[in-house]
Chain A
Amino acid sequence: EPEVTQTPSHQVTQMGQEVILRCVPISNHLYFYWYRQILGQKVEFLVSFYNNEISEKSEIFDDQFSVERPDGSNFTLKIRSTKLEDSAMYFCASTGGGFETQYFGPGTRLLVL
């Protein structure tokens, strides 16, 4: 069964460093998402991406964040200058259409020191 994959599974970085989180969505899906879950809190939407552009973003997704689909398979989230409060589990999701189920990857646990 096709699934969303994410790399790395864990990343530790120093405050102020740039990180890139990678996702490979399900191959025939067209809509891509990033969510994050700070420890003990609810899963929060960051951004959605369709047709090579951001279709929606939350108030969390400020200028420190960017997304890109550099090729036909990868979908990346970049945090330019990490802050302590960026420590969280980051989930990528994809769906084949706007009405369909979003399927989630296993997540990348980011720790900013």
Chain B
Amino acid sequence: AQSVAQPEDQVNVAEGNPLTVKCTYSVSGNPYLFWYVQYPNRGLQFLLKYITGDNLVKGSYGFEAEFNKSQTSFHLKKPSALVSDSALYFCAVRAFRGGSTLGRLYFGRGTQLTVWP
């Protein structure tokens, strides 16, 4: 069974400090991993993804994430947080096995990031 865990409901950081939003996953087969961000009253906006290759992937707005296969993690990071980064962040996984993708995304519960000035 596929699942995603985001162990922190909330992360609070000061502007200018580095931030990390944690995600661990469980899949049968190789994972495709995604981060989405949701601003109030908005839809889910794609930030970045890991499919294959370099374990460190870079995405929109200065965010990056590191795929760690041994720890089954895909933590979202940013070296210097901005107040405008405050939003709800979702980690998601898709499974790939047997030459086909199973298209559905499995989401974590979301982590509310608050960056204070």
Q: Which residues of A contact B (CB under 8 A)?
A: 4, 6, 31, 33, 35, 41-45, 48, 55-56, 58, 91, 93, 95, 98-99, 101-107
A43 to B104, CA, bound (A): 11
B 31-45 to A, binary, CB cutoff 8 A, 1 in contact else 0:
010101000011111
Q: Are B43 and A44 in contact (CB under 8 A)?
A: no
Task: Assess whether B43 is in contact with A42, with CB atoms less than 8 Å apart.
Answer: no
In angstroms, how far is the closest chain B Cβ from the Cβ of A55? Answer: 7
Inter-chain contacts of B45 with A (CB < 8 A): 104
Across-interface contacts of A99 in B (CB, < 8 A)? 32, 51, 96, 101
Taking a contact as CB atoms under 8 Å apart, the answer to whether B46 and A101 are in contact is yes
Number of A-B contacts (CB under 8 A): 59
Residues on the B chain within 8 Å of A95, using CB:
103
Q: Let me know if B102 is at the binding interface, CB within 8 A.
A: yes
User: Please, which residue of chain B has its CB at the minimum distance from the CB of A103?
Assistant: B46
With both chains docked as a complex, state the minimum distance between the C-beta of B59 and any C-beta of chain A, in angstroms. 11
User: Would you call the interface of chain A mostly helix, strand, loop, or mixed?
Assistant: strand
Interface residues on chain B, size class: 20 to 34
Contacts A/B (CB < 8 Å), 7 sampled: A42-B90, A43-B107, A44-B107, A99-B96, A102-B34, A104-B36, A104-B46
- Chain A residues with Cβ below 8 Å from B44 are 43, 91, 93, 104
CA–CA, A102 and B36, complex, Å: 10
A42-B110, A43-B90 known; A102 and B105 CB under 8 Å?
Answer: yes
State the CA gap A15–B96 with chains docked (Å).
Answer: 39
